């Protein structure tokens, strides 16, 4: 399976130690946790949401790497047992998500699969060619969080120092603090 993530182009695409800043699915010292999206737009949306970008002019200074990563291997993704509003909520929902991730890890999960908090419903829409470039049917975005270092994952830098398209801004759920 190929998944996508954004990163600072000067750094590796995966975290290797517990020094990772806390996020939705892990707290301080609980890393590394590797976060991925099922589409490039999903990965860009995660960045846009986290950075609080809301306007096209703010995208002009974005210079991020976009990685396509083969996550083949021995892992089992669990679905968190939380309400959708918690899974897609703002900062206030993070502790409930961290608690659920701890529970899943204790049960032996090596990864989790959840709806994208960054993309609005139907926001993972791609493109097709049919008499020219046309939007593909709407679909929901999915994120994966893999627990621990993953030396078995292989990545390709698809973009070295790029930025997301401005039309993505309308499909991003703002981060509430």
What pLDDT does 74 receive? 87
pLDDT in tens, 19-64: 999 999 999 999 999 999 999 999 999 999 999 999 999 999 999 9
Identify the domain containing residue 106 by its residue range.
2-171
User: Is residue 177 in some structural domain?
Assistant: no
Q: How many domains does the chain have?
A: 1
According to the 3-state scheme, what is the secondary structure of the chain?
CEEEEEECCCCCCCCCCCCCCCECCECCCCCCEEEEECCHHHHHHHHHHHHCCCCHHHHCCCCEEEEEEECCCCCCEECCCCCHHHHCCCHHHHHHHHHHHHHHHHCCCCEEEEECCCECCCECCCEEECCCEEECCCECCEEEEEECCCCCCEEEEEEEEECCCHHHHHHECCCCC
User: Is residue 61 in some structural domain?
Assistant: yes
pTM above 0.75, yes or no: yes
User: Is residue 13 in some structural domain?
Assistant: yes
pLDDT in tens, 97-119: 999 999 999 999 999 999 999 99
User: Is residue 14 in some structural domain?
Assistant: yes
User: Is residue 176 in some structural domain?
Assistant: no
User: Is residue 119 in some structural domain?
Assistant: yes
């Amino acid at each position: 399976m190929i998944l996508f993530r954004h990163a600072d182009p000067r750094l590796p695409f995966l975290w290797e130690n517990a020094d990772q800043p806390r996020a939705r699915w892990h707290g301080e010292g609980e890393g590394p946790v590797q976060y991925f999206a099922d589409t490039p737009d999903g990965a860009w949306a995660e960045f846009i949401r986290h950075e609080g970008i809301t306007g096209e002019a703010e995208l002009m200074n974005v210079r991020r790497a976009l990685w396509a990563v083969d996550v083949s291997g021995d892992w089992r993704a669990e679905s968190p047992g939380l309400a959708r509003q918690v899974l897609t909520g703002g900062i206030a929902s993070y502790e409930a998500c961290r608690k659920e991730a701890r529970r899943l890890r204790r049960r032996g999960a090596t990864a989790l699969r959840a709806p994208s908090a960054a993309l609005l419903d139907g926001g993972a829409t791609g493109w097709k060619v049919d008499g020219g470039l046309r939007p593909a049917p709407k679909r929901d975005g999915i994120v994966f969080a893999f627990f621990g270092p993953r030396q078995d994952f292989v990545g390709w830098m698809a973009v070295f120092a790029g930025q997301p398209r401005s039309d993505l801004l309308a499909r991003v759920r703002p981060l509430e603090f």
